[in-house]
């Protein structure tokens, strides 16, 4: 049986066995290849399929899942979930009734079904040639490939809710090594989207070559507490490392410094952070979360004020409020929390104009590693590369410095937000961030 049939079967089996239940299922098909020196290096085709159920019996939840879509396996999975209710903490939740959602599949492009390995191979071979042609300093292209992903995701529950969401996407990218005077640098760029006809070999090659060569001639700078502008190329990654403090689940476990601060100013008035599941800035739309709760815009931080944590049904019940529709769960996992599209609303200045805010500043375009970053404490210690700027003019590249500070202090020190976004297909739309002071060391 397919996953839609499996979900219907599981729902029929679960009726009468528990007061409430919800079922999650997904089927993902991926194809990709890599190219090296004009030849296909390897190909990969993978499939992942499974069905998971959460039952609530006598107020206690139980989870189980299976990757075998047979009636016998579904029966055993239900039995396992029911047995687990004997060991779990009681929850007081009411699963949602069916919600009215717009028709259609906005995250799915049927035309992408025709993209196969042969087309990706031809594209990648030409991409390799084009990238080498961009600069005589490019000496090697160790990373080059393309892939497609197709997913069907189903959510159903005991109240009769049943949602089937289809999505697909493609990506192509290159990592180029450039050499100058015995020094080598690596530059990467990946393009993602749902319209393969809009994938430009020249764009990808140009970006990769530019990023591979832009930091040659780097000079050291004097360390200390100095102004820093985080480029839109890396600002989304910076924020993604510190999402968890905004989840009610994290607060209730005592793992967030934001616990008890809803309604308070926690950031600069220049900074806002929204959960924006159907925002116009995004190419991925979410109508309901993994619990079937409608997903709506939540202004988590608005003008520096922490206005709302993100809740699923369980954490909302504990807090005595409504879910914000941010439940997240795969077929093989328990319920957690996540953003549905992260938006930092744009400011009034372009990225280069942000550099003019300070007589001197470090303009960061790359980050390396995150082992020194801790979402619980907010501590930040991360390698960075970029450019030294004076009076808004780039002076020279800067290589291998370390940024240190605390996330909760950094967002208070944001003096302005840019108005340019880097990757239109990303679920993170975060412009450049101008920070008045950050510790920088060599």
Q: Which residue has the tokens 């490392």?
A: 241
Give me the torsion for CA of 143, 203, 113, 103, rounded to 10°.
120
- Whether the predicted pLDDT of 311 surpasses 90: yes
Q: What's the pLDDT at 442? A: 86
At residue 16, the pLDDT reads 87
- Reported as a pLDDT band with limits 50, 70 and 90, residue 306 is very high
pTM of the model: 0.94
pLDDT value at position 387? 98
Per-residue pLDDT averaged across 197-225, rounded?
Answer: 96
What's the pLDDT at 372? Answer: 83
Element (H, E) at 3: helix 3-14
Strand 414-417 with 433-441, pairing: antiparallel
Tell me which residue has tokens 């450019």: 387
Q: State pLDDT tens for residues 15-67.
A: 989 999 999 999 999 999 999 999 999 999 999 999 999 999 999 999 999 99
Q: Rounded distance, CA 23 to CA 155, Å? A: 6
Check: CB of residue 4 under 8 Å from CB of residue 164. Answer: yes
Q: Which strand ranges, in their side-by-side order, compose the sheet holding 298-302? A: 305-306, 298-302, 273-275, 342-343, 428-429
Looking at residue 410, its pLDDT comes to 97
For residue 370, pLDDT beyond 90: no
Nearest-Å Rg of the Cα atoms of the chain is: 24
pLDDT confidence tier of residue 380, bands split at 50, 70 and 90? very high
Q: Which fold has domain 3-213?
A: PmbA/TldD fold (3.30.2290)
List the chain domain ranges: 3-213, 224-239+347-441
């Amino acid at each position: 049986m397919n996953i839609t049939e499996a979900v219907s079967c599981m729902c029929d089996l679960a009726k009468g066995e528990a007061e409430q239940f919800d079922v999650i299922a997904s089927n993902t098909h991926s194809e990709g290849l890599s190219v090296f020196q004009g030849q296909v290096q390897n190909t990969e085709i993978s499939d992942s399929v499974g069905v998971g159920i959460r039952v609530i019996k006598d107020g206690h939840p139980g989870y189980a899942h299976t990757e075998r879509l047979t009636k016998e396996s579904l029966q055993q999975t239900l039995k396992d979930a029911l047995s687990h209710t004997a060991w779990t903490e009681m929850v007081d939740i009411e699963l949602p009734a069916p919600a009215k959602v717009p028709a259609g599949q906005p995250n799915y492009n049927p035309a992408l079904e025709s993209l196969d390995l042969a087309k990706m191979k031809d594209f990648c071979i030409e991409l390799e040639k084009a990238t080498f042609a961009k600069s005589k300093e490019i000496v090697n292209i160790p990373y080059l490939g393309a892939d497609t992903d197709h997913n069907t995701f189903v959510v159903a529950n005991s109240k009769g809710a049943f949602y089937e969401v289809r999505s697909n996407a493609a990506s192509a990218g290159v990592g180029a090594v450039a050499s100058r005077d015995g020094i080598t640098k690596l530059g990467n760029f990946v393009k993602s989207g749902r319209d393969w006809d809009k994938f430009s070999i020249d764009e990808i090659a140009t970006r990769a070559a530019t990023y591979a060569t832009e930091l040659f001639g780097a000079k050291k700078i004097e360390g200390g507490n100095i102004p820093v502008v985080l480029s839109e190329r890396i600002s989304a990654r910076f924020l993604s490392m510190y999402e968890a403090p905004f989840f009610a689940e994290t607060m209730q476990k005592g793992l967030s410094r934001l616990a008890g601060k809803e309604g308070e100013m926690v950031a600069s008035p220049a900074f806002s952070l929204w959960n924006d599941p159907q925002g116009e800035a995004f190419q991925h739309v979410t109508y309901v979360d993994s619990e079937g709760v409608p997903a709506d815009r939540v202004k988590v931080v608005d003008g520096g004020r922490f206005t709302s944590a993100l809740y699923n049904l369980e954490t909302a019940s504990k807090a005595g409020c409504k879910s914000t529709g941010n439940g997240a769960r795969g077929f093989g996992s328990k319920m957690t929390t996540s953003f549905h599209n992260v938006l930092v609303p744009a400011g009034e200045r372009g990225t280069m104009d942000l550099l003019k805010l300070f007589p001197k500043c470090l303009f960061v375009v790359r980050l390396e590693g995150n082992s020194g970053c801790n979402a619980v404490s907010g501590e930040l210690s991360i390698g960075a590369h970029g450019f030294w700027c004076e009076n808004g003019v780039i002076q020279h590249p800067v290589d291998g410095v370390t940024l240190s500070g605390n996330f909760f202090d950094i967002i208070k020190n944001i003096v302005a937000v840019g108005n340019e976004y880097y990757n239109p297909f990303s679920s993170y739309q975060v412009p450049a961030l101008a920070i008045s002071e950050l510790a920088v060391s060599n």
